[in-house]
Amino acid sequence: MCGIVGYVGNREASPILVEGLSKLEYRGYDSAGVAIIENGDLTVKRCKGRLKNLENNLQKKPVKGTIGIGHTRWATHGEPSDSNSHPHSNAEGTISVVHNGIIENYIKLREWLGSKGYKFYSETDTEVIPNLIDYYYKGDLFEALTKAITKMEGSYAIGVICKNEPDKLIAVRKDSPLIVGLGKDEFFIASDIPAVLEYTREVYLLEDKEFVIITNDGVTLKTEDGEVIDKEIFHVTWDIDAAEKGGFEDFMLKEVYEQPKAIRDTLTSRIAGDAKVSLENIKFTKEELDKFDRVFIVACGTAYHAGLVGKTVIENLAKIPVEVDIASEFRYRQPLITKNSLLIVISQSGETADTLAVLRDSKKLGATVLAVTNVVGSSVSREAHHVLYTWAGPEIAVASTKAYETQLIAMYILGLYLGEVKETISKEESSIIKEEIANLPSKVEMILTQKEELQKFAAKNYMDKDVFFLGRGLDYAIALEGSLKLKEISYIHSEAYAGGELKHGPIALIEKGTVVIALLTQDKLKDKMISNIREVITRGAKVLAIANEGDKDIEGVVDGVIYIPNTNPILTPVLSVVPLQLIAYYMAKEKGCDVDKPRNLAKSVTVE
Ligand code: M6R
């Protein structure tokens, strides 16, 4: 996720672009840049780091001009660096582009453009765009852009300016957001409304493949065939704070709702139809994988819970024994790491101190390290031998939601990849799972429509002192995650237990009115879970069940049921965690807690 802005008007573009970018920093903040038409020439300023760095550079050496584009980056292809920062330009510096999205076929396009003499100076996917436009440019920027996008696969919101047409800004989108702000004698483009709210409340919300051509004379919307589009103006009524959160009350809720997109992005180009899983730069041979006698998954907090799911997935699909541990425990227990070990570290931030320490110690012992992280250029991504990025975009709320979902997806991608290379799963088995994985984003969307029921449950139970979560197998891993979410943002005491452990102690805690949330999405374990549920009900518990659609037999047993859409049993965690995230969220809201910044917690734990 990145943020783009653009300005055409009579004022100096530079401060307006920087101000707009500051409102989009929630979309990315590892580097920033602007390109401005200055005295008929294109001037580009860009640098690694927070927007403040760019602002300081612009203060030292201002760029004058009234047409420009800007970008705040969250790296996906190429680590944060000056040369990977946007805007990107063609070699002559006559065309500059800002881009949000992912050009999936950029490697092929680079090769093709390379064969025509084009040179590249960054590691980004974006750099192919100004060069493609250059290739097609015959004096008409709009025409060149329409041709360029026919070559591009993936998602994009693009803003382009060109030295040869210095009075013009052109933009287009596909699967990445883009709006056009309509001020008085001045016009804007932006990835999101907050960037323009200071100047106007009148916007166009662009649809896929709609182009906008902006000059000082006004705004024209066109299709790729050049037909003019007549579009309704949208009047924004939100205040700036709500707008930054996309109209949601909190970043956490926004991020919960971003999960379908985060899952789709993480799957992009890795799982496509029936083709074998492809992991960009990660390429193991069967012999290399057969050398690993054990996989260790190590992480903290929510990432550790993703690892628990990863264990079952990798053991089932790739038939390698997997040990999962909490980084702070693993690093002090002299684990049996050897050169035949594959260590998978999972970390949203890529900066968690204990996880990083495990990575470093294990490398010294000869392990091969694969990092699953959300932050390109983070410490774990730089120090691991291999990196599988989760493309969740920046996660602002302290409670991890969309990053967790994408960590689960990373576990499936890895499990399938290892299974395919090791030949431990059949093509049929792999196809069935891939087909179902592709359906997960829309199934998460279906669960999100049940929010009222979850809200009601929260309103009824938010005063409770304790909440217990129960599950077996993969459901137990989700019970742990649900319990962590609840305690960290609502401060309600909660515990998660494996159903089979109840009689070994925890059942002593159940009394009249105790709330128990029971997961029973694993068909093979369902009867055993129903027995556990009956045991707690007998002792007075009120039970909310999370079950598969169609499991009507549970209805007569429990006080309430939340159904998740049917899917392959190995994939249910991606769905069953969503109601638990929402329960935690609504309980915390009922209690008046600051869900985005819970007390005593930091987003990233960079010290021991
Ligand atoms: O950045 P990391 O994934 O390494 O962070 C690990 C934990 O600190 C993190 O998941 C934490 O448990 C979250 N606050 C949970 O919501």
Q: State pLDDT tens for residues 310-348.
A: 999 999 999 999 999 999 999 999 999 999 999 999 999
- Give the pLDDT of residue 268: 87
401 CA closest ligand 1 atom index: 16
What is the percent of the chain where pLDDT is above 70? 100
**Would you say 508 and 607 are in contact if contact means Cβ atoms under 8 Å apart?**
no
Please provide the distance, in angstroms rounded to a whole number, between the alpha carbons at the two ends of the chain: 30
300 lines ligand 1 (CB under 6 A): yes
Q: For residue 26, is pLDDT > 90?
A: no
CA distances from 150 to 154, 157, 223, 309, 364 (A): 11, 14, 13, 40, 48
Phi, psi values for residue 483, rounded to 5°: -70, -40
Q: In this predicted model, what pLDDT tens digit does every residue of 399-423 receive, in sequence order?
A: 999 999 999 999 999 999 999 999 9
Distance CA 443, CA 260 (A): 8
Say which residues have a Cβ less than 8 Å from residue 355's Cβ, sequence separation at least 6.
298, 299, 300, 303, 327, 345, 346, 347, 380
User: Bridge-partner residues for 100, per DSSP?
Assistant: 157
Distance CA 512, CA 540 (A): 4
Amino acid at 486: L
* Cα–Cα nearest to 209, from 175, 234, 232: 175
User: Bridge-partner residues for 235, per DSSP?
Assistant: 202
Q: How many helices (H) and strands (E) does the chain have?
A: 19, 24
CA distances from 565 to 106, 204, 216, 269, 556 (A): 35, 35, 51, 25, 20
Distance CA 162, CA 214 (A): 12
604 CA closest ligand 1 atom index: 1
pLDDT band for 243, please (50, 70, 90 cuts).
Answer: confident
Residue with tokens 């979850």: 454
Instruction: Supply the residue whose CA is at minimum distance from atom 8 of ligand 1.
Output: 301
User: Bridge-partner residues for 593, per DSSP?
Assistant: none
Instruction: Work out the angle at residue 370's Cα, subtended by the Cα atoms of residues 365 and 374, and round it to the nearest 5 degrees.
Output: 135
CATH code of the domain occupying 251-439: 3.40.50.10490
605 lines ligand 1 (CB under 6 A): yes
- Give the pLDDT of residue 281: 84
Instruction: Supply the residue whose CA is at minimum distance from atom 9 of ligand 1.
Output: 301
pLDDT band for 358, please (50, 70, 90 cuts).
Answer: very high
User: Same topology for domains 251-439 and 451-591, yes or no?
Assistant: yes
Q: In this predicted model, what pLDDT tens digit does every residue of 575-597 receive, in sequence order?
A: 999 999 999 999 999 999 999 98
352 lines ligand 1 (CB under 6 A): yes
User: In angstroms, what is the span from residue 345 Cα to ligand 1's centroid?
Assistant: 12
Q: What is the token pair recorded at 307? A: 């690892």
605 CA closest ligand 1 atom index: 8
Pocket test residue of 376, 604, 607, 608 for ligand 1, highest count of atoms within 8 A of CB: 604
User: Bridge-partner residues for 573, per DSSP?
Assistant: none
What is the percent of the chain where pLDDT is above 90? 87
**Would you say 375 and 350 are in contact if contact means Cβ atoms under 8 Å apart?**
yes
Q: In this predicted model, what pLDDT tens digit does every residue of 176-217 receive, in sequence order?
A: 889 999 999 999 999 988 899 999 999 999 999 999 999 999
Number of residues written out for the chain: 608
Pocket test residue of 325, 372, 379, 400 for ligand 1, highest count of atoms within 8 A of CB: 400
DSSP state of 398: S
403 CA closest ligand 1 atom index: 3
User: In angstroms, what is the span from residue 298 Cα to ligand 1's centroid?
Assistant: 12
- Give the pLDDT of residue 507: 94
Distance CA 113, CA 149 (A): 14
Q: For residue 56, is pLDDT > 80?
A: yes
User: In angstroms, what is the span from residue 395 Cα to ligand 1's centroid?
Assistant: 11
CATH code of the domain occupying 451-591: 3.40.50.10490
pLDDT band for 135, please (50, 70, 90 cuts).
Answer: very high
C-alpha gyration radius of the chain:
25
- Side-chain-side CA neighbours of residue 165 (13 Å): 21
355 lines ligand 1 (CB under 6 A): yes
Residue with tokens 């066109």: 222
Supply the mean pLDDT for the chain: 95
Distance CA 475, CA 312 (A): 11
Helix (H) or strand (E) holding 7: strand 3-8
Distance CA 178, CA 246 (A): 13
CA distances from 506 to 108, 301, 511 (A): 57, 22, 11
User: Bridge-partner residues for 89, per DSSP?
Assistant: 96
Distance CA 410, CA 437 (A): 11
Output 472 or 76, whichever has higher pLDDT: 472
Mind telling me the catalytic residues? 2, 603
Pocket test residue of 250, 345, 352, 411 for ligand 1, highest count of atoms within 8 A of CB: 352
- Give the pLDDT of residue 246: 81
pLDDT band for 70, please (50, 70, 90 cuts).
Answer: very high
CATH topology classification for 3-237: Glutamine Phosphoribosylpyrophosphate, subunit 1, domain 1 (3.60.20)
Mean pLDDT of 84-90: 96
DSSP state of 199: T
Amino acid at 408: L
398 lines ligand 1 (CB under 6 A): yes
Q: What is the token pair recorded at 180? A: 């056009």
Instruction: Supply the residue whose CA is at minimum distance from atom 7 of ligand 1.
Output: 301
DSSP state of 543: E
- Give the pLDDT of residue 280: 81
Domain boundaries, the chain: 3-237, 251-439, 451-591
Identify the three-state secondary structure at position 271.
Answer: coil
User: In angstroms, what is the span from residue 352 Cα to ligand 1's centroid?
Assistant: 8
User: In angstroms, what is the span from residue 559 Cα to ligand 1's centroid?
Assistant: 32
pLDDT band for 4, please (50, 70, 90 cuts).
Answer: very high
Q: For residue 378, is pLDDT > 90?
A: no
404 CA closest ligand 1 atom index: 10
* Cα–Cα nearest to 101, from 132, 68, 77, 136: 77
* Cα–Cα nearest to 351, from 326, 334, 386, 376: 376
Cis omega (within 30 of 0) for bond into 87: yes
pLDDT band for 224, please (50, 70, 90 cuts).
Answer: very high
